[in-house]
Chains A and B, each alone.
Chain A
Amino acid sequence: MRFLVVDDSSTMRRIIINTLNKLGYTECREAGNGREGLDALTANPVDIVITDWNMPEMSGVEFARAVRANDATKAVPILMVTTNAAEGDIVEALKAGVSNYVVKPFTPATIKEKIEAVLKA
C-alpha cells in the first residue's frame, strides 16, 4: 500500500508516517503543501493520500478539488487530518472531494480505522 502524506508541518508528517509504519504501511512519500502534493501524485500514483487542511501555497481543500478534477488522480482516496472540526468544515471538505476525516489530536487506532473505511468505500 503506497501513501502520500501532505502537510506543511514536518512534525505532523513524521507523526503520521511513524503511525503508518507502526500499522505496517512502510511505503510513504511526503509533500509540504497541496501544490507539491499534486506534483508528487501526478509523477507517482499512490493508493491513499493523507492531507492536512491549513497549508501555505495550496490548502488541503484546494488540493482535494484539484485531485478530483484530474482524470489521472480522481479515484484516489483522500483522508484529511486536521484540527478543523466545526460542522461547516467537514461539509466543506467532503464537498471538495475528501473521502474521510480525522480530527487532530488523534490516536493510531483512529488512523487505522479511517484507512480501513476509505479502502472499503
Chain B
Amino acid sequence: MSVPQSLLSTLVSATEEVFDTMLALPLQARPPVTGPLETPANVVATVAFAGHRRGLVVVYSSLTAARQITSSMLGIPVHEVNGEVPDAMGEIANMVAGTFRNRLAAVEPSSDISVPTVTIGTDFSTLYSSAVFRSRCPFDMQGEPLSVELILTGDQVGGLK
C-alpha cells in the first residue's frame, strides 16, 4: 500500500527546505514511487516517529551523494571528507523528519521523533514488516540519486485533514 499524496507532498517540501536552507545543493523532485530502489543505496539514514502517527522517515543515498552533502554542510572540499558522513547524514535525516513532523503538528496532534540511525555499506538491504504503508520520493541531486521514504505502520495512515 502507498502513502497518501498529501503526506508525500509535505515530505518533499520538508526535504527541499532542508537542502535549500542548509546546503548549496539544489534538489530536483521526481514523482513518488513504491517498490525497491533502482540502484542500491550505500547510505541509509533513518529517523522513527511516534505519537499521533507512527513510522519512519528514511533517507537513501549513494556514497558519492552523501560525501557531497557532508562537504556542503561542513564547508570543506569533498576530498577532505573522512569520517564525518554518518553524523552529517544523521543530521540530514533529523532535519527532514523534524521539519516533516513540525508541518504535520501544525494541523494535527504531534508526534515525537527519535535520534537518527545511519547505516553505510554495500550489498545490504533494509526489510520492514509487510504491515506498513510506504512510498519513496526520489530526487536528483546534480546527477546523483537521493530518495526519502515515508513508512507508516498500519493503523494511523489517513491523509492530512
| Contacting residues, chain A, for B98 (C-beta < 8 A) | 82-85, 104
Stretch at the interface among A4-12, A38-46, A69-77, A112-120: A4-12
- Closest CB of chain A to B46's CB: distance in Å? 15
Kindly report which residue of chain B lies nearest to residue A9, judged by CB atoms: B91
B73 partner residues in chain A, CB cutoff 8 A: 11, 14-15
List the A residue with the shortest CB-CB distance to B112: A84
B interface, over-half SS: helix
Residues of B in contact (CB 8 Å), total 25
Query: Using a CB-CB cutoff of 8 Å, which residues 84-141 of chain B contact chain A?
Result: 84, 87-88, 90-91, 94-95, 97-99, 101-102, 105-106, 110, 113, 115
Tell me which of B15-23, B28-36, B146-154 binds A: B15-23
> B21–A83 contact, CB under 8 A?
no
The reply to whether A10 and B94 contact each other, CB–CB distance below 8 Å, is no
Residue B26 is within 8 A (CB to CB) of chain A in the complex: no
Q: A9-B87, A11-B87, A104-B95 are in contact. Are A86 and B102 (CB under 8 A)?
A: yes
Q: Return the contact of B94 from the options A18, A83, A86, A106 (Cβ within 8 A).
A: A83
What residues of chain B lie closer than 8 Å to A84, measured between beta carbons? 98, 102
Q: A83-B95, A86-B105, A105-B95 are contacts. A10–B17 as well, Cβ < 8 Å?
A: no
Q: How far is the CB of B5 from chain A (nearest CB, A)?
A: 23
Is A15 within 8 A of B102, CB to CB? no
B interface list, Cβ under 8 A from A: 17-18, 21-22, 70, 73-75, 84, 87-88, 90-91, 94-95, 97-99, 101-102, 105-106, 110, 113, 115
Could you jot down 29 A-B contacts, CB within 8 Å? A9-B91, A9-B94, A10-B84, A10-B87, A11-B70, A11-B73, A11-B74, A11-B87, A11-B90, A11-B91, A12-B91, A14-B73, A14-B75, A15-B22, A18-B74, A56-B115, A82-B98, A83-B95, A83-B97, A84-B102, A85-B98, A86-B105, A86-B106, A104-B94, A104-B99, A105-B17, A105-B22, A105-B95, A105-B99
With an 8 Å Cβ cutoff, the count of chain A residues facing the other chain is 21
Shortest distance from the beta carbon of A82 to any chain B beta carbon, whole Å? 8
CB of A103 within 8 A of chain B? yes
Task: Using CB atoms, name the residue of chain A closest to B116.
Answer: A9
Distance from B57 Cβ to chain A, minimum over Cβ atoms (Å): 12
